[in-house]
Amino acid sequence: MKSKQFTLFALILVQILEQFMINVLAININNNNNILPLEHVTTTSLLTNNEASKLLLSPESYLSLSHYHSTCPDLEGIIHRQVQAWIRKDYTFAASLIRLHFHDCVVRGCDASILLSHKGSERRAKVSKTLRGFRIIDEIKAEVEKKCPKTVSCADILTAAARDATVVAGGPFWEVPFGRKDGKISSAREANRLVPQGHENVTTLIQIFRDHGLNILDLVVLSGAHTIGRSSCDAINHRLHNFNGTRKADPSLDTKYLNSLKKKCAASSHVYVDLDATTPRIFDTAYYTNLGRNMGLLSTDQLLNSDARTGPFVSVLASQPLVFSSQFAASMVKLGNIGVLARPNEGEIRFKCSSVNRAY
């Protein structure tokens, strides 16, 4: 077992180092201020600026760490101050902002379509009914518009806010490349079909992530965001009382944990319980340790521990907090680059995050 864990640990470190090298090399910017396409950057050869400019850039290659340096230099300061203030008032907003960002990115990519508020939008979907943080993004956008009008997209604000929420909660920092634009389409039907709802099996989860360019390690690592999240009793009542129609509790739940959950959820199905039962306010690896003790709140979380494809990663991350922090940052960068609208003539810079510009 120790040999297998060491092998997985080594593989994770290799992936982290490879991603680090790609990120470092990708900051070679050509004369048009476009980042060198990541798929054409290797540790052994670099294209010249002229060669790079002739290549078709992938959407995420248009993103840049310096995108707002001259047009909105205090952008990240504005976002961080607002996020920090909100989380100081209510620590649960940290998980809410990360979740809001995830919901946005798995439907049509990271284009702020989750923020659009109209009949039939993602925001009105059944799967979105417990989402929070919209007001935070609106207030950040309002302040940004005063200082940098018609310049910063809602998609970039949401992506950076999720990063800062992680940092304020005690998690890792990572650089967010900017240049996303906002989408004009938002569909509740798409959200209900594409967003995981807590009852999928591991095979389905793996496929959902692969469809977005994310691998099994990304699945296990990003699930670690549940170290600071909450869920309603309504989402887990079936595990407590009628698992798979048996009229009994889920046998995979630790007995003491099961009894504790039953007490907390006895009053109402609208009561919220922590996804991490031990350190719910701290961004740490207790989430993975709890899975090893059969204390995963959602069935999708607990299955990550028991499935042969994901379980070994859970074991490694539970005992390697530095690896978790480094890989969480890398996986969040990958998440934030999904389906971005960054090419010329794609998307728009919304003046208000809840409405497309034609409404003005």
Structure tokens at 280: 């719910």
Residue 122 marked ligand-binding: yes
Q: Which of 67, 80, 101, 103 is catalytic?
A: 103
Residue 320, helix vs strand vs coil = coil
122, 116 in Cβ contact below 8 A?
yes
Query: Angle at Cα 212 formed by Cα 208 and Cα 218, nearest 5°?
Result: 75
What are the phi and psi torsion angles at 98 (to 5°)? -65, -45
109 pLDDT above the threshold of 60: yes
Which range among 46-60, 68-82, 162-176, 330-344 shows the weakest confidence by mean pLDDT? 46-60
Q: What pLDDT, on the 0 to 100 scale, is given for residue 57?
A: 82
295, 257 in Cβ contact below 8 A?
yes
The answer to whether domain 75-196+337-359 and domain 202-335 are alike in fold is no
195 pLDDT above the threshold of 90: yes
Give the type of residue at 294: N
Query: Angle at Cα 347 formed by Cα 32 and Cα 223, nearest 5°?
Result: 95
Residue 156 marked ligand-binding: no
The pTM score is: 0.86
CATH number given to 202-335: 1.10.420.10
Residue 227 marked ligand-binding: yes
CATH number given to 75-196+337-359: 1.10.520.10
The residue ranges of every structural domain in the chain are 17-57, 75-196+337-359, 202-335
CA 222 from centre of chain: 7
Residue 279 marked ligand-binding: yes
Residue range 117-132, pLDDT digits in tens: 999 999 999 999 999 9
Residue range 30-59, pLDDT digits in tens: 334 443 333 333 333 444 554 444 346 889
Residue ranges in 307-350 assigned as alpha helix (H): 311-319, 321-336
Question: Which residue is associated with the tokens 């290797």?
Answer: 42
Residue 90 marked ligand-binding: no
Residue 226 marked ligand-binding: yes
* Angle separating helix axes 154-168 and 93-105, nearest 10 degrees: 140
Distance CA 86, CA 140 (A): 11
Residue 103 annotated in active site: yes
